[in-house]
């Protein structure tokens, strides 16, 4: 019998949630996702220090431009170890600015092109604000594929599907964390896990109404959450949980099917006003979206500080 990871791969595209090149080479996932925290970890390797210094010099120590180029550099390096796509995150400070998000995405793709990377192998990763989703709509119309992240509510997912976004990333683990805190519970079984139920509802809604947007469950806290979503279009999983799945020989069954009727929900549509109202009425989605964006911004600032320290060290 195949190990649990290989069984899962027969039902779902497994994506590695890491920017570490050695780990990606070892795991050989189809796709990979990155964010500033993962890029910061990837760039801590001593063998990359010369690249950091050279990139800073190229941009006259402009930290923002350096981070953008390093982001694309790591993306290109990841693509050399996988057959699929890499998600490249737009600066989270632009999450509420449609025009600037589009501009940043186009700049990323231009850099990728200069490095010899086909845009079809890149997913532009954008936070699930109304402005971010509208930026993705503009990009998708130009044949540029997007991954809308920080999805915590059905209204976000529906807006993404109506924008013809390539895929969305509902954050399973963060929803569970919120649920535990609100319900003051340490352990919640998978059949009550609101993160799992959220993904199942979104997946069912998309299939029920014929949307092409794919669902990629993300932010897992344990193996049980992953196996409860076996059959989802994609699952992005941290290296430690991928290793756990590989070490298991548990036989698994598919949980999500394209023709499943987990939740029958009438087709809905949102404009900016109704989207904002739905978000305001969903305290969990509001809080987790806000804290998620703040977390990405803080991670970028951490990377910026590391680079500034490098500038100071080399100029001292």
Q: Find where tokens 């941009």 sit.
A: 59
Dig out the tokens for 113 from the structure: 């092109």
- Determine contact, residues 163/140, Cβ cutoff 8 Å: yes
Whole-number Å distance between alpha carbons of 316 and 298? 26
CA separation for the pair 223, 142 (Å, rounded): 38
Spot the catalytic one: 41, 58, 104, 125.
Answer: 125
> Is 125 designated active site?
yes
Residue 35 phi/psi, 5-degree rounding, is -150, 175
H-run or E-run covering 86 = strand 86-89
Judge contact between 232 and 12, C-beta under 8 A. Answer: yes
Separation of alpha carbons 236 and 173, rounded Å: 12
List all residues 6 or more positions away from 92 whose beta carbon is below 8 Å from its beta carbon. Answer: 36, 127, 293, 296, 297, 300
Length of the chain: 316
The SS3 assignment for 58 reads helix
Tell me how far CA of residue 73 lies from CA of 51, 80, 209, in angstroms.
Answer: 10, 11, 38
Q: Which two tokens stand for residue 30?
A: 């189809």
d(Cα 45, Cα 231) in Å, to the nearest integer? 36
Query: How many C-beta atoms surround the C-beta of residue 140 within 10 A?
Result: 18
Give percent helix, percent strand, percent coil of the chain, each to the nearest 5.
Answer: 55, 10, 30
| Residues with catalytic function | 125
């Amino acid at each position: 019998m195949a190990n649990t990871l290989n069984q899962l791969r027969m039902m779902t595209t497994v994506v590695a949630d890491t920017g570490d090149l050695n780990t990606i080479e070892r795991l050989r996932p189809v796709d990979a996702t990155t964010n500033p925290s993962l890029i910061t970890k990837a760039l801590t390797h001593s063998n990359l220090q010369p690249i950091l210094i050279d990139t800073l010099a190229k941009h006259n120590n402009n930290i923002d431009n350096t981070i953008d180029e390093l982001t694309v550099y790591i993306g290109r390096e990841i693509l050399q170890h996988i057959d699929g796509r890499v998600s490249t995150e737009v600066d989270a400070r632009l999450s509420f600015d449609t025009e600037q998000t589009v501009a940043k995405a186009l700049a990323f793709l231009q850099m990728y092109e200069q490095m010899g990377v086909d845009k079809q192998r890149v997913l532009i990763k954008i936070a699930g604000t109304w402005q971010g989703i509208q930026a993705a709509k503009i990009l998708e119309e130009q044949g540029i594929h997007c991954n809308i992240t920080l999805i915590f509510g059905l209204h976000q997912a529906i807006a993404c599907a109506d924008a013809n976004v390539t895929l969305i990333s509902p954050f399973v683990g963060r929803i569970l964390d919120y649920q535990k805190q609100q319900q003051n519970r340490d352990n919640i079984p998978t059949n009550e896990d609101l993160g799992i139920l959220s993904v199942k509802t979104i997946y069912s809604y998309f299939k029920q109404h014929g949307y092409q947007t794919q669902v990629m469950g993300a932010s897992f806290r344990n193996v049980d959450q992953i196996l409860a979503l076996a059959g989802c279009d994609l699952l992005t999983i941290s290296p430690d949980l991928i290793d756990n799945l590989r070490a298991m020989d548990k036989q698994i069954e598919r949980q999500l099917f394209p023709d499943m009727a987990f939740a029958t929900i009438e087709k809905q549509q949102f404009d900016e006003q109704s989207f904002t109202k739905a978000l305001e009425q969903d305290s969990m989605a509001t809080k987790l979206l806000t804290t998620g964006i703040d977390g990405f911004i803080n991670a970028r600032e951490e990377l910026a500080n590391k680079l500034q320290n490098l500038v100071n060290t080399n100029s001292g």
